[in-house]
Amino acid sequence: MTQYIIRRLLLIIPTLLGVSLLVTAFVRMLPGDAVDILTANNEIQGADEIFKAEVAERLVAQGKDPATAGFPDRKPIEDAIVAEQLRKDGIDPAKATDAQKQEARNVFSRTAYKDAIRERLGLDKNYFGQWSSWVWNAMQGDLGVTLSGGRPIGPELRERLPTSIELGVIGMLVSICIALPIGVISAVKQDGPVDYFARGGAIGMLAIPSFFLATIVIAVAGRYFDYSFPLFYAKFVDNPTQNLEQIWVPAVILGIGLSGTIMRLTRAQMLEVLRQDYMRTARSKGLSHNRVVIRHGVRNALIPVVTIVGLQVPVLVGGSLVLEQIFAIPGVASYLFAAIQNRDFPVIIAVNMLIAIVIVFSNLAVDLTYAVLDPRIRLA
């Protein structure tokens, strides 16, 4: 078992490297230029700084101190930069109007600003150059900065991840608490009223979209109970009461949506297990019905169920977008959605790598759970 765990942990390294290669490739294939989108949103406050930096650099080349240089020193350099841009645009600087000169200055500033952003983010490099640069920085704990605002991504993820984990864990517990008992009872009471009701409920859980159920809950709470959910998120450590007040409803809705699949799979597996020879043998030895079902049946039926639960774990991290948006929860999913809208490549790569890490470790946990549930399984 120990050797198996060590090998699986070592395999995480090439797995994550492969994922990073694919994510970087897919991000580069997205339509639209992230830098163009950034400047189109009027976020060009850095453009003027770039122009001033170019003027300062030319002042230094002339042996002057930018800190003490006045307008007479700066004006000729600014005019020279504008004249160079006008010539590139095919306009004679001597005949250019004031509007053309101002536009030339803006074009130079925006172009230099975009080039600076691309260089900072590695977008000016080829595919492998950008990928290797990102991996090297990530290995040192630097996930980069956002295109919009230049905020560090690592602290932002550390701020949002506990929120998504809280929402996901509560949602998964709700899902398991609903699905497992009802699935077992439905199998034991096969083709009875309870079974038909459970199967119908499972289909309803799978069919009803989470956003529709969330909207109904908010509408009913406001219409009949005069209650509105908090608009501003509070961390659990800061205000546990408000935090749980805002989290538990979307967590229950998330759990209900996930429980349909687990419930039907639990029922199907229990029906198969109940027909096995060892179950009849256990009954013939005089064991009570409940003991046979719980001790022998449920344990053997849980192996495929654990697989499904493991596959749903990544959904809890990145798939709760709609609920986060409706209930104003600042989780990882909403962060990823905003990054995709803005073509914020560093954020997209970082969040997808985080989800990949969750998938890898959840699969390892599922494999280890197999050996606990069924001693016949030997991981070697």
3-class DSSP assignment, residue 68 = coil
N-term to C-term CA, the chain: 6
pTM above 0.85, yes or no: no
The tens place of each residue's pLDDT in the chain, 380 residues long, gives: 677 778 878 888 888 888 888 888 887 776 666 666 666 654 555 667 777 788 888 888 888 888 888 878 888 888 888 888 888 888 888 888 888 888 888 888 878 877 777 776 666 777 787 788 888 888 888 888 877 667 888 888 888 888 888 888 888 888 888 888 888 888 888 888 888 888 888 888 778 888 888 888 888 888 888 888 877 888 888 888 888 888 888 888 888 888 888 888 888 888 888 777 777 777 777 777 777 777 777 777 888 888 888 877 777 765 577 888 888 888 888 888 888 877 778 888 888 888 888 888 888 888 888 777 766 666 65
Q: What phi, psi does 339 have (nearest 5°)?
A: -65, -40
Of 177, 336, 357, the residue nearest 263 (C-alpha): 177
3-class DSSP assignment, residue 114 = helix
d(CA 320, CA 257): 11
Pair 182, 201: CB distance under 8 Å:
yes
CATH topology of domain 153-373: MetI-like fold (1.10.3720)
In the chain, domain spans: 34-125, 153-373
Q: Which residue has the tokens 């004679």?
A: 92
